[in-house]
Structure 1
Amino acid sequence: MACPEGKKVAFGTYTLVEEVEYWWENTHQCLEAEGQDVTWDVFKRVFLEKYFPKDVRNKKEMEILELKQGNMTVAKYATKFEELVRYFPHYQGRDGESSKCVKFLNGLGPEVKQVVNYQGVRQFPLLVNMC
């Protein structure tokens, strides 16, 4: 959603319910008591630490590191890739677009990779369409 940066925490936390809502009330108080400015990045960090544990993150990281097209279609590979890549900030935003493309290309089957790799495309949607 097109939500201004300064409103993201308020909007995001408004949707929390039950145990998660109680967790956030307590965590928010602790962060403020420590003098931390509760930005969207801070919220995401503490939320993921709590609800996306390190062992699960490690498993997802291994999945994306080992992901190869294999016998999948390009569309199926792209879907699986996008499902996994969303967990990794390194591949997000404008700065991560090129790394995301390199990782995607690296997992393609040799016949597709050979044709597309030399194009130098570093915009992910365009790269997927070319494949």
Structure 2
Amino acid sequence: RDHQPGREDETRLERFMKHKPPTFTGGYNPKGAVNWLKEVEIIFEAMGCSEENKVTLGAYVLREEANHWWKNARQRLGAGGAVITWERFKREFLIKYFTADVRNRKVVEFMELKQGNMSVAEYAAKFESLCAFSPHYNTVEAEYDKCVKF
């Protein structure tokens, strides 16, 4: 069977779209930005998506302001033919749509988190969702610290 790169890209895009990926329009929506990333990454995993295709597919579902942001960011990041990895895309995306002040508030909320009258399940869910914003607790080395904090 002869390989047609254009056809493979089209098939990959069709497969991606069958999973009904959410679109992201930008604006001030930190929670929406984080949720959008989580959702597209779930789809990438289900598809066994290669690193080099993640940026293309993720960018495909950016709309309106987010699409304008990406066009500018892509020009800047890809200058001189530099390859833009998914990790780089995510970092830039979060700098833009999950600003430092929001991230810092989440870190403080995490550091001050107490179980109080939440059930263990509620507390564990809140702990995990806030932990995502505390970079220190997201490393293998920090697993012990994470247990102590919990």
Which band: TM-score by shorter chain? 0.5 to 0.7
Gap regions ≥5 residues in structure 2: 1-41
Number of aligned residues? 104
**Aligned residue in 2 for 1:62:** 108
Post-superposition offset of 1:11: 1.9
**Partners in 2 of 1:91 and 1:97 — Cα distance?**
7
Deviations 1:7-39 (A, max 9, x none): 221222111111101100111101112664311
1:45 partner letter: R
2:123 partner letter: Y
Distance 1:12 1:64, change over 3 A: same
**Aligned residue in 2 for 1:23:** 69
Deviations 1:46-73 (A, max 9, x none): 1111111111111001000111112211
**Aligned residue in 2 for 1:46:** 92
Distance 1:5 1:94, change over 3 A: farther
Gap regions ≥5 residues in structure 1: 105-131
**Partners in 1 of 2:80 and 2:105 — Cα distance?**
32
TM-score, normalization by structure 1 = 0.67
Deviations 1:85-128 (A, max 9, x none): 22234434655544433332xxxxxxxxxxxxxxxxxxxxxxxx
RMSD: 2.1
Distance 1:93 1:4, change over 3 A: farther
Q: What is the 5 A alignment of 1:1-131?
A: 1=42, 2=45, 3-33=49-79, 36-92=82-138, 94=140, 97-104=143-150
**Partners in 2 of 1:6 and 1:102 — Cα distance?**
38
Of all paired residues, the percent bearing the same amino acid is 54
TM-score, normalization by structure 2 = 0.60
